[in-house]
Amino acid sequence: MKYIKQKSTNKVIYREEPFSDETLNNAVKRSGISKSDLEVVEVDWDEATWNNNSVSYQEQRCKAYGSINDQLDMQYHDLVNDTTVWKDHVAQVKKDIPKS
């Protein structure tokens, strides 16, 4: 099976079946990690090995949420402009990166 691994941490962060040309782009979208820091690897892992070698959903979500400064800025502008950008952003991250 093919997986997407983060080069800088050597952690497997994503898998998708069937694997396609869009898999790497999907991994970037879900993880928030730049494409240049990702690579495709092929290994034969069972579910337990996958879970031991993958980045947790918490780590993926933290990256996708953005910095605290950015989130506070979103919240401020939501208050001033009577919008829900921050709430919508958090909901989208939770949808895109569900709990395992």
Domain presence at residue 50: yes
DSSP string covering 35-81: GGGEEEEE----HHHHHHHBPPHHHHHHHHH--HHHHHHHHHHHHHH
49 and 73 share one domain:
no
Domain presence at residue 47: yes
Q: How many domains does the chain have?
A: 2
**Residue 78 is part of which domain span?**
66-100
3 and 23 share one domain:
yes
75 and 51 share one domain:
no
pLDDT digits (tens, 9 = 90+) for 18-55: 777 788 888 888 788 899 999 888 878 777 777 667 76
82 and 46 share one domain:
no
**54, 13 contact by CB (below 8 A):** yes
pTM for the full model? 0.52
Distance CA 59, CA 45 (A): 21
Determine the 3-state secondary structure of 9 from DSSP: coil
pLDDT digits (tens, 9 = 90+) for 46-99: 777 776 677 677 777 888 898 899 999 999 999 999 999 999 999 999 998 887
35 and 3 share one domain:
yes
50 and 74 share one domain:
no
42 and 84 share one domain:
no
Q: Which two tokens stand for residue 95?
A: 């949808």
